[in-house]
Amino acid sequence: MNLKEWTKAFDDRCTLEDFKTFERDVNLHNDGLPGIKEAVPELDPLERALQPWGEDRSRENECMQVLMGNQGKRLIQLNALYGLFGGVIDEAWTSTTLPPSFRWIPALTTVWNQSAHTPSSRSGLWWNDPTGFTNETKAVDERGIPAESTTAAIAQLEKFQRRFPNDPHRVLVAYVKGMPFATRWSGQTGFDKELDEWLALYKVVSRLMVNTDLPDQQVNWINALRAWNRVTCEGERTRTELTDKYGIPAGVLTQFLPWWNGEILPCEFLDTYEVKLPATYSSRWDIGAHPTQPQTSANTPSAQPIAEPDRTSYSATYTCVLHEVKAGETLWNISKRYPGTTPEWIAEINEITDYIRIGEVLCIPTQP
């Protein structure tokens, strides 16, 4: 991906519904051009290895202009998009020896799009290939789950790091271009013009993201997501039904349910992945989720719809079993390990309003 292609891909990413909704509610551009921090971190090993790609000043200036032009609009948007996934990524990075600047791979490959797909077999936030993913069902592609995507990417990068222990830039190239290319790559500028342009942009992004005084947008995202509505269903839903009958665009389904494959959506996955939609689309979903029940006479028994679990029915008396969250775990599969609990109850007890993090210790309630 050259600079022109990346710029278009990034601008297109900023028009997708999740970010459009966020940007509409949060004033990102009211402070002008971002300033430089008083204290900036030292270059990490990957950044030091990428220094030769900054020696072409005209190319580096072009990369800088793409990000800093128009009062730093794209840099501010890039930082805001990182806020959506930063908690998951930062948590995962605590257990790896990879240089921190590897965290910007999604910014340069999928432009922070968890629903990214390419003509090749790669997809997901980290542009994962299918290696290492063992889906339990064809309805789910785990690469569309940011936490799963991040974990798999780190494992792949660590594998390349073992192969190239002293060449972090070659590790980066192996991830994006494949091991065969990285093995024969010269490791210097001039070998591949498009790759040179991409690495120059990577160098600029990695420095600007840590050198400039940009606000942490994670809290703003948490607040924004609280305003979205959790969606449920009372039976299997189909993609055709949601698009044609209830008017939810196919692109919206892809963006907010990036892990959903195929035509049929089993209900349990909505609980597993705790799907939320902005009000514009959740209202349409709810029409389909709660169909009008036919009237019946008082003497004729009728099937009652399955109700959402009533949180007030949970007993206030319980004891805790402590559970440390591991990679790939969700509230749904954790609850299956502890009979008598539900994802909703675990969320309520632990005051979870967004997502769980690797290493977080949860109280699993058990009634005496």
Contact (Cβ atoms closer than 8 angstroms) between residue 111 and residue 10? yes
Q: Does 309 score more than 80 pLDDT? A: no
Q: What mean pLDDT do residues 173-188 have? A: 93
Residues 6+ apart with CB under 8 A from 41: 210
pLDDT value for 286: 67
Contact 265, 257 (CB under 8 A): yes
**Domains in the chain, ordered, with CATH?**
3-220 (1.10.530), 228-289 (no CATH), 316-363 (3.10.350.10)
The sign of the dihedral angle between the CA atoms of 262, 332, 278, 107 is: negative
- Which of 131-140, 251-260, 321-330, 349-358 has the weakest average pLDDT? 131-140
Q: Which of 304, 15, 54, 319 is nearest to 199 (CA)?
A: 54
For residue 96, the model assigns a pLDDT of: 93
Spatial separation of the C-alpha atoms in residues 24 and 145, rounded to whole Å = 25
Distance, CA of 345 to CA of 331 (rounded, Å): 10
Q: What is the DSSP letter of 123?
A: B
- Position 31 confidence tier, pLDDT thresholds 50, 70, 90: low
Identify the pLDDT of residue 319: 63
Angle between helices 193-211 and 57-93 (to 10 degrees): 60
- pLDDT value for 357: 80
69 Cβ neighbours under 8 A, 6+ residues apart: none
**Can you give the pLDDT at residue 137?**
57
72 phi-psi bin (left φ>0, alpha ψ -120 to 50, beta other): left
CA Rg value for the chain: 23
Coil, strand, or helix at residue 276?
strand
Which pLDDT belongs to residue 324?
A: 82
Most confident of 184-188, 315-319, 357-361: 184-188
Encode pLDDT of 44-55 as tens digits. Answer: 999 999 999 999
Pairing label, strands 361-366, 319-324: antiparallel
Q: Confirm if 343 and 309 have CB atoms less than 8 A apart.
A: no
Identify whether the C-beta of residue 323 lies closer than 8 Å to the C-beta of residue 364: yes
The pTM (predicted TM-score) of the whole model is 0.75
Residue 261 pLDDT exceeds 50: yes
Contact by Cβ (8 Å): 154, 132:
no
Enclosing H/E stretch for 129: none
Is the pLDDT assigned to residue 160 strictly greater than 70? yes
pLDDT at 22 over 50: yes
Instruction: Kindly state the average pLDDT of the residues 258-271.
Output: 84
Taking 50 as the threshold, does the pLDDT of residue 169 lie above it?
Answer: yes
pLDDT at position 307 over 50: no
Mean pLDDT of 322-336: 83
Residue with tokens 């209202």: 283
Instruction: Give ∠ CA 88-139-231 in degrees, rounded to 5.
Output: 65
The pLDDT of residue 110 is above 80: yes
Residue 22 near residue 80 (C-beta atoms within 8 A): yes
Residue for token pair 């009000």: 279
Counting residues of the chain whose pLDDT is more than 70, the rounded percentage is 86
Q: Which two tokens stand for residue 361?
A: 């210790």
Q: What is the pLDDT of residue 57?
A: 92
